[in-house]
A and B are shown apart, each in its own frame.
Chain A
């Protein structure tokens, strides 16, 4: 009995620290979201649901959510397809695999802001090499950062360049840990590479796929530093994601209370969205093996 009490005594400081670090900021944000704290109204002055009512009809917020969802969906889709393809390519290449594993980690290790600056130079309409390269193939120059669709594509290209390696590493690790028996069985059944991929590799990799996708969806949805450095949300509002919009509302305009309500709303939408996505994916992956 005494021993068990000691156990709690030692446990409590860590728990309290954890609560203070995780729970307190969240509760404080909720409190802020019900306040009118702004540049000229300081403090937790209660405004009820006013901020949420405004948020619901704020077109800029919903537009930024739409931009974010489209951007994230495309980023993660490309990263998954490319990362998985690369992992399959290097799966059984022992020596090359080691080299490329190290090589592919490099983009992930670079600070996004720095890379955005480098990419901005690469995509620069007159000074950057990208249009020169296109010119070699007879393709006319593209206004990468000054027209809406190319600017949107540029953000995706940078994110895919930086984070495909994350999917690659996870998928490669997953492939290397797969059991041999299903492959032997497929071979005996006369399955070719495509059938083996569809009916053996893909279903076996489903749990890792789900984990990788959810992690990337969470990370991509916070896309802010690249946007900040590369496009400032422009041209127009074409690359304004929710995180960037929250930054502008909160720290440039100093609408602290309102931004807190947008953050909470954003958090709820993300939690619901990710839960629905994870559930749907789990269901799909349960179906996939039975189809086989």
Chain B
């Protein structure tokens, strides 16, 4: 009898094992989460196999929607899949740095994962856990372009988990360039054909022409250029974009921001000054109040067709390309010769002369994107890295990149394919091709500029923008303003330690010089 019961029980258990498939095999993740799951250790299916019941991680990220919304969304999904608890704390960009640095410096454990500007890596480095090899070996990680792998690396260690790749590039509303009436008027005024600009001089001329009248035909006044100029916003990136092609000389190695040997700040060299002078003049071609435009205003101004051109992040472009946008598939990116504006004269800091170029020299700016990492103080590092692995899996990235407000921008080689954008976002062939061409141009450029990723970067940047803001407001001449900045940079460098900054800056120079 006992043997019979045991036999029956065994059979029942065996039957259950055979006929009761595990959740991972039955759940249709694509239908449940509206994504296309791609097999791998970061996939929905594999994440579902993990059990973090009773465990909790806390994430500090940006406010909703930019980055805050995708973090919130995928954290809920991660909770459903793993049973773990994910607490998401939001903060505006201006507050993130202090919210991260105070617990870091005081040895408190508050967050398991922190989000911020990837250029803070120099300040974060001592407090972040390196990304374990098993995550570096995933298909998702190997697909990241070398430039963005470099951005996440500090002294040879991958400290930031890459899920975003940013760049500043030229974008424009295309129809006015094809308009015969515009072509005629432009030729009469400037004596040359109207064309998509390739240099900053041409950009400013086209901006001037299209400023202050209704070239859109909607009864409103439109302008030439929208840029991010607001003090203490992220205008430093726009400034860097503006000066890069005048000051980053393809024939001079060893430092764009500093001369690596002497650690002399270059922020007041004639290349920087020329860039600033032109930017001050360009205010005339921006919409009213343009001097106070932050990134949100730029997205809505250019994305809403208020101005013809812009040279900033992907977000405004992706926003303009969303299905509900009135200008979808009427915007293009990149000039005929590269991703950003170039210059026929570039300052040579070695010879202290302007080098002349037959074709415009372009210095694309691989501007900081979002950076994040797992804190060393985290007691749930495995869960935190698994969360990152899930957050940036193919399915989630492919979904998030199509939503402009999420702030997730191309960072993988597989994103450099027109089909990816045509199928995923419904872009036209022409727009997708121009976007991919720009991405590739950025990726293959050997004259790129990166952020000043050294300890105390916020001190350097706020000092820089304090001077730039004075010049933009007409309080000081550009040269005098940047001389003031250079003096402050020298003081900051001495305070932090010349050798400390030099060692850190070598990481940046490696990227600048394509080493």
Interface residues in chain A, defined as those with a beta carbon under 8 Å from any beta carbon in chain B: 36, 38-40, 42, 60, 124-126, 141, 143, 145-148, 231-238, 248, 251-255
Contacting residue for B456 out of A40, A143, A233, A248, CB 8 A? A40
In Å, the complex CA distance between A112 and B288 comes to 25
Q: Which residues of A contact B475 (CB under 8 A)?
A: 148, 236-238
> Do the beta carbons of A234 and B292 come within 8 Å of each other?
yes
Contacting residue for A254 out of B98, B232, B290, CB 8 A? B98
Shortest distance in angstroms between B496's beta carbon and chain A's nearest beta carbon?
Answer: 6
List CB contacts (< 8 Å) of B69-84 with chain A. Answer: none
Indicate whether A231 sits within 8 Å of B456 (C-beta atoms), given known contacts A236-B474, A254-B101.
no
Q: Which residues of A contact B97 (CB under 8 A)?
A: 251-252, 254
Q: Is B500 an interface residue (CB 8 A)?
A: yes
In Å, the complex CA distance between A148 and B231 comes to 13
Smallest CB gap from B454: residue in A: A40
Shortest distance in angstroms between B127's beta carbon and chain A's nearest beta carbon?
Answer: 11
Contacting residue for A238 out of B292, B473, B495, CB 8 A? B473
Shortest distance in angstroms between A258's beta carbon and chain B's nearest beta carbon?
Answer: 9
In Å, the complex CA distance between A141 and B496 comes to 47
Q: Which residues of A contact B179 (CB under 8 A)?
A: none
> Do the beta carbons of A39 and B230 come within 8 Å of each other?
no
Looking at chain B's contact residues, the main secondary structure is helix
> Do the beta carbons of B459 and A232 come within 8 Å of each other?
no
Given pairs A39-B456, A125-B289, A143-B288, 18 additional interface contacts (CB within 8 A):
A36-B495, A38-B456, A38-B496, A40-B456, A141-B288, A145-B292, A146-B288, A148-B475, A233-B231, A233-B232, A236-B476, A248-B462, A251-B95, A251-B98, A252-B94, A253-B458, A254-B97, A254-B98
In Å, the complex CA distance between A42 and B455 comes to 13
Task: Give the interface centre of A141, A236, A251 by most chain B CB atoms within 10 Å.
Answer: A236
Q: Which residues of A contact B458 (CB under 8 A)?
A: 39, 252-254
In Å, the complex CA distance between A125 and B497 comes to 45
> Do the beta carbons of B459 and A236 come within 8 Å of each other?
no
Indicate whether A235 sits within 8 Å of B123 (C-beta atoms), given known contacts A141-B288, A254-B458.
no
In Å, the complex CA distance between A188 and B218 comes to 72
Looking at chain A's contact residues, the main secondary structure is loop
List CB contacts (< 8 Å) of B269-296 with chain A. Answer: 287-292
> Do the beta carbons of A232 and B462 come within 8 Å of each other?
no
Indicate whether A237 sits within 8 Å of B98 (C-beta atoms), given known contacts A40-B455, A40-B496, A125-B288.
no
Interface residues in chain B, defined as those with a beta carbon under 8 Å from any beta carbon in chain A: 94-95, 97-98, 101, 105, 123, 230-233, 287-292, 455-456, 458-459, 462, 466, 469-470, 472-476, 495-497, 500
> Do the beta carbons of B500 and A145 come within 8 Å of each other?
no
Indicate whether A39 sits within 8 Å of B288 (C-beta atoms), given known contacts A237-B475, A252-B97.
no
> Do the beta carbons of B459 and A39 come within 8 Å of each other?
yes
Indicate whether A234 sits within 8 Å of B288 (C-beta atoms), given known contacts A38-B456, A39-B456, A254-B98.
no
Smallest CB gap from A232: residue in B: B232
In Å, the complex CA distance between A235 and B233 comes to 12
Shortest distance in angstroms between B466's beta carbon and chain A's nearest beta carbon?
Answer: 7
Smallest CB gap from B288: residue in A: A125
In Å, the complex CA distance between A38 and B455 comes to 10
Q: Which residues of B contact A234 (CB under 8 A)?
A: 230-232, 291-292, 469, 473
Q: Which residues of A contact B105 (CB under 8 A)?
A: 42
13 contacts between A and B (CB under 8 A): A38-B456, A40-B123, A143-B288, A146-B290, A146-B291, A231-B292, A232-B233, A234-B231, A236-B473, A248-B232, A251-B98, A254-B97, A254-B123
Q: Which residues of B contact A231 (CB under 8 A)?
A: 231, 292
> Do the beta carbons of A126 and B292 come within 8 Å of each other?
no
In Å, the complex CA distance between A143 and B287 comes to 11
In Å, the complex CA distance between A40 and B458 comes to 12
Shortest distance in angstroms between A145's beta carbon and chain B's nearest beta carbon?
Answer: 5
Indicate whether A126 sits within 8 Å of B470 (C-beta atoms), given known contacts A148-B475, A235-B231.
no
> Do the beta carbons of A38 and B233 come within 8 Å of each other?
no
Contacting residue for A235 out of B455, B472, B495, CB 8 A? B472
Smallest CB gap from A239: residue in B: B231
Q: Which residues of A contact B497 (CB under 8 A)?
A: 40
Q: Which residues of B contact A233 (CB under 8 A)?
A: 231-232, 469
Contacting residue for B291 out of A36, A235, A237, A252, CB 8 A? A235
Shortest distance in angstroms between B306's beta carbon and chain A's nearest beta carbon?
Answer: 9
Shortest distance in angstroms between B362's beta carbon and chain A's nearest beta carbon?
Answer: 30
> Do the beta carbons of A146 and B289 come within 8 Å of each other?
yes
